Amino acid sequence: MSDRLSPADIARLDDIAAELADLGPMALTLRPATVFALCGLLQLASRHPGVGDSGRVTIATFLAGARAYFADCPALLAALDDGDNPALDR
């Protein structure tokens, strides 16, 4: 871990890791507009310098699932493609 973490912080992180390992997948039911909004938020978040590799993998996984969900929606897919382009951020 880091020199900046106290022993209590490390113990807490160990507890969190153990609890996460014991849980199964979480199922979510989201409305299409919510999925689309989350895609935009995650696309923007992915450009933040503080997002590490594991965060980027999580974002990419969600976005891949959303693209599969929107497979028959060309306008939505085009908007997601635009969201991948930082030059179009507003």
Q: How many domains does the chain have?
A: 1
Residues 20-64: tens digit of each pLDDT: 999 999 999 999 999 999 999 999 999 999 999 999 999 999 999
Establish if 16 belongs to a structural domain. no
Establish if 19 belongs to a structural domain. no
Residues 6+ positions from 66 with CB-CB distance below 8 Å:
35, 36, 38, 39, 80
Residues 8-17: tens digit of each pLDDT: 999 999 999 9
| C-alpha dihedral sign at 18, 24, 25, 29 | negative
Establish if 9 belongs to a structural domain. no
Residue with tokens 């306008």: 75
Establish if 82 belongs to a structural domain. yes
**Distances 44 to 7, 15, 77 between C-alpha atoms, Å:** 34, 31, 16
| pLDDT band per the 50, 70, 90 thresholds, residue 90 | confident
Q: How many CA atoms lie within 13 A of 58 on its CB side?
A: 9
Per the structure, the complete domain to which residue 81 belongs is given by 27-88
pTM: 0.79
